[in-house]
Amino acid sequence: MAPDRPESWIDLDANATTRPDPQVVEAVAEACRTLWANPSSVHRAGQRARAAVELARQEIARLIGASPREIVFTSCATESIHLALHSMPRGPGKEILTSRIEHAAIAGALNSCRRAPRYCAVTCEGLLDLDDAIGQLDGAGGVATHLVNNETGAIQPIEPLLAQARERSIPVLIDATQAVGRMPVDVGALDADYVALSPHKFHGPKGVGVLYVRQGARLSPLIGGAQELARRGGTEPVPAICGAGVAATLARTWLEDASRREDLGSLRDRLENAIIGGVPDTVANGPRDRRIWTTTNLAFGDIDGEALLMMLSERGIGASAGAACSSGSVEPSPVLLAMGLSEDLVRGSIRFSLSRNTTEHEIDHAGEIIVRCVASLRGQS
């Protein structure tokens, strides 16, 4: 099976997750070997584990321009989103302003926290309609939206919405899971109350998530306990946190040189152009001028996306139809539907996503295989 031979596997599914960096793997392993004590224990071994957790917290904070006290470790971004939404004020009419193009984690959290949504309109390019969003702000209990879309890579123009929410003292959660570690994110400039992120999206380990909580913002724990300054109970997963800290350091260093992101953006464009040039009736979903370098989402007319995914997988290429979390389900992507695509086009849409390790050779090789697979599927159908 291709995934067991990683050297022959071209990963174009980095928006689902990224392969941990070797330095991250080593940090996780080293922490398992030597930092296994409970960081809440007062003895020396416990305090060594505590020091490692705090070092990682500092590194995560530096990556997003926060203070370490504003960082709460959770288990994943989904939990972080739940924690933020659980903390927003309740009351009659205090709905949460959100959109239909969020990651499923937001809809899931609204449901679990029994918070009613107030949906703002979105454009056919998959951008929030800011006039509509701002028009619906009055009286809302909070705002929950994202910075970078997990399916199209759209970078949302949220600053004016955040400024208006701040003026009305409405708390804001930004799901920055697809942005942090891949583009500069400064929580000071965002001025949101809560920012959710996930180190496994920038070559860190799974099992740890992060919620930034602006100093002074209210927090109602979902899991009681003394850990994380009584904001999230449970013994901290020290190895995963240590790996997350190393991943944050590596991402911050990588982000210092903007040309790296530009080069990867050119690589994404090269893949996109090769496919669009080689496959008739293919269009890119999402805004082409407001997209992060990681993502292209292509609608192949007259194709069953699931069949294409399987065919690509057999040829050693990983990609995704809609959000990975909903793969296995045959439901068409709600994000693309909300953008006004027909159900047929949605079912024929595939997301290819790059990581900072994607190479030119992989892109060229993948482009050829994708073009051939689509041609072959169309020949069959």
List the beta bridge partners of residue 296. 352
Q: Is 76 a catalytic residue?
A: no
Q: Which is nearer to ligand PLP, 192 or 377 (CB)?
A: 192
3-state helix, strand, coil split of the chain in percent (to 5) is 45, 15, 40
Residue that has been written with the tokens 């003394």 in this structure: 226
Q: Which is nearer to ligand PLP, 145 or 227 (CB)?
A: 145
For the bound state, the minimum distance from the C-beta of residue 213 to ligand PLP, rounded and expressed in Å, comes to 17
Gap between the Cα atoms of 315 and 179, Å rounded: 29
For the bound state, the minimum distance from the C-beta of residue 263 to ligand PLP, rounded and expressed in Å, comes to 23
Q: Which is nearer to ligand PLP, 279 or 336 (CB)?
A: 336
Q: Which is nearer to ligand PLP, 240 or 370 (CB)?
A: 240
**Is residue 128 within 8 Å of 100, Cβ to Cβ?**
no
> Which one is catalytic: 76, 120, 124, 325?
325
For the bound state, the minimum distance from the C-beta of residue 354 to ligand PLP, rounded and expressed in Å, comes to 15
Q: Which is nearer to ligand PLP, 151 or 193 (CB)?
A: 151
CA of 108: how far to CAs of 103, 176, 223, in Å?
Answer: 9, 17, 17
**Is residue 366 within 8 Å of 26, Cβ to Cβ?**
no
Gap between the Cα atoms of 44 and 321, Å rounded: 49
**Is residue 222 within 8 Å of 84, Cβ to Cβ?**
no
Report the C-alpha dihedral over residues 355, 356, 360, 361, rounded to 10 degrees. -70
For the bound state, the minimum distance from the C-beta of residue 78 to ligand PLP, rounded and expressed in Å, comes to 3
For the bound state, the minimum distance from the C-beta of residue 313 to ligand PLP, rounded and expressed in Å, comes to 19
Gap between the Cα atoms of 54 and 47, Å rounded: 10
Binding site for ligand PLP (CB under 6 A): 76-78, 103, 105, 146, 150, 175, 177-178, 198, 209
Instruction: Please list, in sequence order, all residues whose beta carbon lies within 8 angstroms of the beta carbon of residue 188, skipping any fewer than 6 positions away.
Output: 65, 66
Q: Among 198, 187, 240, 191, which Cα is nearest to 105's?
A: 198
HSE at residue 372, side-chain half, CA atoms within 13 A, is 10
Q: Which is nearer to ligand PLP, 78 or 87 (CB)?
A: 78
Gap between the Cα atoms of 144 and 84, Å rounded: 9
Q: Which is nearer to ligand PLP, 31 or 77 (CB)?
A: 77
Q: How many CB atoms lie within 10 A of CB 372?
A: 14
For the bound state, the minimum distance from the C-beta of residue 198 to ligand PLP, rounded and expressed in Å, comes to 3
Task: Give exposure, 324-359, as e/b (b: 16+ Cβ within 10 Å).
Answer: bebeeeeebbbbbbbbebeeebbbbbbbbbbbbebe
For the bound state, the minimum distance from the C-beta of residue 319 to ligand PLP, rounded and expressed in Å, comes to 14
Q: Give the residue numbers marked as catalytic.
A: 325
